[in-house]
Structure 1
């Protein structure tokens, strides 16, 4: 009997994961990760991790599997929360869920599981893996979940071959409705429980309030930039090289306060992210305002009217070499090579046709169609059909 440690989060997906593995004949251990108890930063008045750990314990009891809680809060603070504060401070928008999977669940947690003699860890992610043989080697493929609406492969875009080799995703073949049905049939306490929103494993969190505890408020101006600004007019250009063209396509628009008019005030540019509409508290415009850029140095937020404002869109993005990550290293392209595939720049975004161009100093992702709100600090993930090949941090 192979031994599997399941990350029981107190939700329905991980509960059914544990049940299915037990049915398949594995020796299953349930482990709840406690990721937060820093009193200097409160996340919510409620204490969801207590409720969650209780639910996880009840599920383990019902399934008759051993259960324990591991406290990973110091690692979580150092690797996720401190990193988030640093990124927001520099005007970037990190993705805590991708980081939590890379740094906590499939690193710290995996090492704990292996120290307990486990052969595998398992999580309740809606994704799949399979294996292929190539040049005498076994390679692991990360595939999107069968439930297209819940596919969570994007959140695992930073995993490695070594991590995939040790991981099981039992619910990847199922629809969410089937998972709920199994939980109800087995009378698991989590069957009707709502899916958790918020930071990975911390629970209900409102980001601006969370950030305000470490990044102090600082009043600044909200500037509205007209859609008719000359910068947006695409002139026909002749490029001397492919690199020059790629740099042009991925360039960021540069704004000055005099490019538009002041329409309001904010309490800190670092609380805002590109594409954001809520929280600006500026009324009286024919169409809603969207954040098109933030300048944390000068503490100015630049906005544009309507979701079709040209400042929201870009055709390409850039990833520095040290931030490029291939799950399938055997398919990685070399300097001067290109590859047609599909990519997404956020969770649940439909896959978009794109081309990767590898250059000496980094990787360019050029989309067939302009993309809304390409945001520094977020992850771009690229796919061939249903396989996620690699990812990178948008620079």
Structure 2
């Protein structure tokens, strides 16, 4: 009997252990195998991805700069309209005072202006002497009322302009904010990507970047683009080149126009501003609005626009070289004019 009870207890223990073990066994059986880690990107892939991110940041920088320029224009326009409104209100106040004085004088004379009293006199000589004065007074009153009407209409126009300018200013500020977020996002993504590399890989990445630029420059020179006589810089172009090359070594700063840092179009705009030729703020606007010349005819001071979206720009300095502010993390530098994809050349002067 005892043996039977011991056997029954043993069976119970075995069954309990099986029940306890079964979830772990089931879990191990049902667990999917872990996916293999993603393949490590080659340095060429990293370089291409970083270049793409910085290009996207450059496009957003142009959008930011354009919105900033428009916001400055709208702010100046708001100041101008406010001044016109203030002048118009002062003029209206003066006209009202003059009209009020005339009305009070007429009231004191029993409803008749001074000239009318002279016209109604029985003295013929007095009538003749003052008839012209009455006519002049009537014209002055008519002119006064017309001036008040015109001034009030102008005030209404200025008020509408002020409202429109505020709306445009706010829209440009919204565009600036959106572009700023996009710029920072793209630059942060590029920096995170670069941060995954070891120090030796980062050095190798920079070497590959320089190698690609040298190869592009060699291919460009091989087209014979620099053969034949070339014109020298104009006095204005020489001043622009002198300014731009003096900035070599200063860091890139998106949205910056100097004096301590520049983005690509900020450098070219500042250089030509010093040379006495104001030009648009962004690389895309410089490409769109400035006169174009054939790349074979470019001379020092001309601006070389890069990539199909005109997202980068540099200044030609001669001998196949240009000066530019490359991208975040780089300084203003000399580079081969053909080291990137050329869209075209524009000439500020």
Task: Tell me whether the two structures share a fold, i.e. TM-score over 0.5.
Answer: no
More helix by share: 2
More strand by share: 1
TM-score of the aligned structures, taking structure 2 as reference length: 0.22
Normalising to structure 1: TM-score of the pair? 0.21
In our comparison, the structure showing a higher alpha carbon Rg is 2
Greater length-normalized contact order (CA 8 Å, ≥ 6 residues apart): 2
